[in-house]
Amino acid sequence: MDERCKRHLAEQRYWGWLVVYREVPVFDTRAYRTVTLHILADENIPAVEHFFTADTHVQRLGGRAIGRAQLQHIDILLVRSVTRVDATLLSGTGVKFVGTATSGLDHIDQEYLSQRGIRFAYAPGSNANSVVEYVLAAVASIGDTLEKLLAGGVVGIVGYGHVGKAVAARCDALGIGYRVFDPWLQQNMISQTATLEQVLDCDVVTLHPELTADEPWPSHHLLGSAELERLRPDSVLINVSRGPVIDNTALLTQLNSGRRFSTVLDVWEGEPAINAALLERVTLGSAHIAGYSLDGKLLATRMLSDAVKEWQHHHSPALDSPAGFAPALLLPEGLSRAGQIRYLLQSRYDISIDDALLRQAILGEQVVGKRAAQFDQLRKSYRGRRELAGSVVAHSLPASADIETLRALGCIAVSSSDSE
């Protein structure tokens, strides 16, 4: 590999982010500091020990097992979405900083934290590209849906936060039309704004709102029987937000009645005790892992570490990511544009694996009471999935339009003749 290719490997490009990792000397200040911060972190947050290096003591616990008793001597609490952080959890504790390694905030009582003077940080957009690639992988796996979108089909996006915007940006880059419904934002902040009915009439409908019960637009059961009836028979419905955004009972009724739209669920009502009958009916299912790429999770940890350093007025050089660079990919010749996209997506992430693992764990478990533990175990032991964005792709494409397709996916395109 020549120097040009090596220079490409000096950066990793996330969708909407450019994160540059540099090797820098790290000055160990621990000998000069006397206060040790005690951190309790969800066991599914990676590399806490790597990024929180100075004057910290890290304990690990499952997110659903974190309770007030475990927080009595904790300064910093780091959670994911399964831990509800409110007065019930924190009252009477000495927690001074709460961080969530997620973009969503529906599990955090921010008003209570503010009243108590507890510093708060989250990781907006850290998993956005991971979720975008999950959505694209689902689309590419279901029949000729990808071909339809590239030929003029339309994606309906519900929710225009960090992830919804990233989905829209990827559609723009690939030349795919889209409509957006988000009554929770000012409409002048949204491009291609549409009504819910117009979005539900699209070829693909993908859900990205935060979960709220607030009127006039509660997202809880935003899609019930009436809304599901509006979906076209050949459409694809994808939920990667929160399970209760769809009325799961109504969805099962629709699927049992013979409705032919395809359904992809990464999130479920009642997690981790999900409805096994619904799992049997959906086209693809997974265990709330759409945002679980290794790259996204490490970025979230790094963002929380930076927030703690700012809170402590502790300025230290940035540490390298412990993941390193993902292996380069070689794009075969002779593929159509849809074929190129499908090949590259599946080279990094095969969604059918997660579908098979969930079905084996839930449908293969005869003891109903053990299914919830199986669901959580899939998340705890999730493999180190790497993102396509930022990947070096060697190719022999003669057309600039084909190279632009690689760039639209966030890839770093390198001629295969240059990488030999």
| Catalytic residue numbers, as ranges | 242, 271, 288
Residue 254 token pair: 């629709």
Half-sphere CA count of 65, side-chain side, radius 13 A: 12
CB 68 within 8 A of CB 90: yes
Cα–Cα dist 204/381, whole Å = 30
Of 164, 371, 389, which Cα lies nearest the Cα of 287? 371
Residue 233 CB contacts under 8 Å (≥ 6 apart), including other chains: 259, 260, 261
Residue 268 token pair: 């479920």
Cα–Cα dist 74/419, whole Å = 50
For tokens 């997974």, what's the residue?
286
H helix intervals, 313-412: 337-348, 351-363, 371-380, 400-408
Residue 265 token pair: 């669920």
CB 396 within 8 A of CB 306: no
CB 338 within 8 A of CB 150: yes
- Reported as type and span, the H/E element at residue 162 is helix 162-174
* Cα dihedral sign, 158-160-162-165: positive
Cα–Cα dist 331/348, whole Å = 12
Instruction: Determine what percent of the chain falls in helix, strand and coil, rounding each to the nearest 5.
Output: 40, 15, 45
Cα–Cα dist 412/296, whole Å = 18
| Residue 236: strand pairing partners | 204, 262
